[in-house]
Amino acid sequence: MDTAIGGYNYGDIPASPVSLEELQLLKQTVDLTDADIAWLRRAGDVLEDQTAQVVGAWREVIAANPHLARYYWSREGVPDENYKARVARRFQQWILDVCRRSYDRPWLDYQHEIGARHTHLKKNMADAANAVPHIPLRYVIAFTAVINGRVKPFLAAKGASVADAEAMHGAWCKATLLHVALWSRPYVSESDW
Amino acid sequence: MDTAIGGYNYGDIPASPVSLEELQLLKQTVDLTDADIAWLRRAGDVLEDQTAQVVGAWREVIAANPHLARYYWSREGVPDENYKARVARRFQQWILDVCRRSYDRPWLDYQHEIGARHTHLKKNMADAANAVPHIPLRYVIAFTAVINGRVKPFLAAKGASVADAEAMHGAWCKATLLHVALWSRPYVSESDW
């Protein structure tokens, strides 16, 4: 655990209401195989020293869209650079967590925390920020297209063949949709989720 | 409009509560460009006579997972083959709609209808079925990984180059996440969505 990352409380947060059995069924729903896990590990090695650039590629889309960028701004429209920088470091760490973490109970708990940090339940709190307090669920889901599309060129680095990069990307896309499914939990009632 | 498809009521359903302005911002959030629209049209031509096989590839994952297959079953666990067959035909048509429809007001309205048909609000109704009445949001989101992953080989048909298939797939993945973002609307409160 890299305690130098502000607000990165992996292993030290409340339990997710999601059970390990529900997690297992979600893994099956995205069709995450053992081979995919191995490709994610490989992707971690490929992306390890590119995480700042990957986050930069994602944030190009955010920066070009005020309806997205505003979640780093105060309600009055003033960008909070400190908040944005702290989130960027966690976003970078998230890339490595997607690739390298065991998807176990501590990981499951942390996904619920990440989901809640997009909502009025917990947004801004880890950073004592005063930004717009809630990101609508539709943007969390829709932005996955950018997360998945724009990571792809970075997977073709470090001598990965086209087929290897393809396999890493396939595993990555399954993994991110697993994440987003878990992040949606704080947005909906237990019976609808 | 193909009126031969049972329960396919495109153009003849209630208005979505989502505005065209909200749709525009969602298109920007998935980064859907004019070039992507052109690639979707091309994908429509490539997939046109393969839609049954594509749905079959998706349903392999459903069939292998009782926690997914049960949404075609009665509460007592009896598969409803008529319902399943009707849904399959609409699922096939959906592939072509993703690729060929203008994402305008009638399309937006129909996405809300599709979303609602996954929930206790409208599931089963178009088919007078008696199946399990609600598909949890987490499975709708997570299964997008299968929808996107398993369509890919079919895009490499009809002489499409590797680069062409790649571009079609990139556009497809943006489009499906736009769809799922809209389908999530009936699951959440207006202020959270």
A142 contacts chain B (CB < 8 A): yes
Closest CA to A113 of A7, A190, A28, A192: A7
Mind telling me how many Å the CA of B26 is from chain A's nearest CA? Answer: 7
Chain B residues closer than 8 Å to A192 by CB: 119, 134, 136-137, 187-188
**CB-nearest partner of A25 from B67, B178, B191:** B67
pLDDT in tens, A121-176: 999 999 999 999 999 999 999 999 999 999 999 999 999 999 999 999 999 999 99
The residues facing B73 across adjacent strands are B79
Contact A67 B119 (CB under 8 A): no
Chain A residues closer than 8 Å to B63 by CB: none
pLDDT in tens, A49-72: 999 999 999 999 999 999 999 999
Contact B31 A149 (CB under 8 A): yes
Is the pLDDT at B66 greater than 80, yes or no? yes
Work out the number of other CB atoms within 10 angstroms of the CB of residue B107. Answer: 18
CA distance B118 to B184: 10
ipTM score of complex: 0.97
Alpha helices in A48-104 (DSSP H): 51-63, 66-69, 81-100
Q: How many CA atoms lie within 13 A of A172 on its CB side?
A: 26
Closest CA to A173 of A99, A75, A79: A99
* pLDDT score for A1: 47
The residues facing A73 across adjacent strands are A79
Domain ranges within chain B, ordered by starting residue? 34-187
pLDDT in tens, B121-176: 999 999 999 999 999 999 999 999 999 999 999 999 999 999 999 999 999 999 99
Q: Would you state the structure tokens that stand for residue A164, as one six-digit string?
A: 């290897």
Q: How sure is the predictor about A3, in pLDDT bands with cuts at 50, 70 and 90?
A: low
Average pLDDT over chain A, rounded to an integer = 96
User: Which residues lie closer than 8 Å to B137 by C-beta, 6 or more apart?
Assistant: A181, A184, A188, A192, A193, B184, B187, B188
Q: How sure is the predictor about B114, in pLDDT bands with cuts at 50, 70 and 90?
A: very high
Query: Which one of A144, A172, A176 would you mutate to disrupt binding with B, by most B Cβ within 10 Å of its Cβ?
Result: A144
Chain B residues closer than 8 Å to A22 by CB: 138
B149 contacts chain A (CB < 8 A): yes
Is the pLDDT at A105 greater than 90, yes or no? yes
* pLDDT score for B144: 98
* pLDDT score for A97: 98
Chain B residues closer than 8 Å to A149 by CB: 31, 170, 173-174
* pLDDT score for B1: 46
pLDDT in tens, A174-192: 999 999 999 999 999 999 9
* pLDDT score for B3: 56
Across the range A112-120, mean pLDDT stands at: 98
Which own/partner pairs from B173-176 qualify as long-range (CB within 8 Å, at least 24 positions apart)? B173/A145, B173/A148, B173/A149, B173/A173, B173/B148, B174/A145, B174/A149, B174/B30, B174/B31, B174/B32, B174/B36, B175/B30, B175/B32, B175/B36, B175/B40, B175/B98, B175/B99, B176/B98, B176/B144, B176/B147, B176/B148
CA distance A181 to A22: 11
Q: Which residue has the tokens 């709609």?
A: B97
Chain B residues closer than 8 Å to A61 by CB: 29, 31
Average pLDDT over chain B, rounded to an integer = 96
Contact A145 B65 (CB under 8 A): no
Burial of residue A142, with CB atoms counted within 10 A of its CB: 0-12 exposed, 13-18 middle, 19 or more buried: buried
CA distance B157 to B133: 37
Q: How sure is the predictor about B4, in pLDDT bands with cuts at 50, 70 and 90?
A: confident
For A137, the 3-state DSSP assignment is helix
Q: How sure is the predictor about A4, in pLDDT bands with cuts at 50, 70 and 90?
A: confident
A25 contacts chain B (CB < 8 A): yes
A65 contacts chain B (CB < 8 A): yes
Q: Which residue has the tokens 């009896």?
A: B78
CA distance A42 to A99: 8
A119 contacts chain B (CB < 8 A): yes
CA distance B21 to B19: 5
Work out the number of other CB atoms within 10 angstroms of the CB of residue B113. Answer: 18
Query: Which one of A123, A137, A150, A189 would you mutate to disrupt binding with B, by most B Cβ within 10 Å of its Cβ?
Result: A137
What's the fold here for domain B34-187? Globin-like (1.10.490)
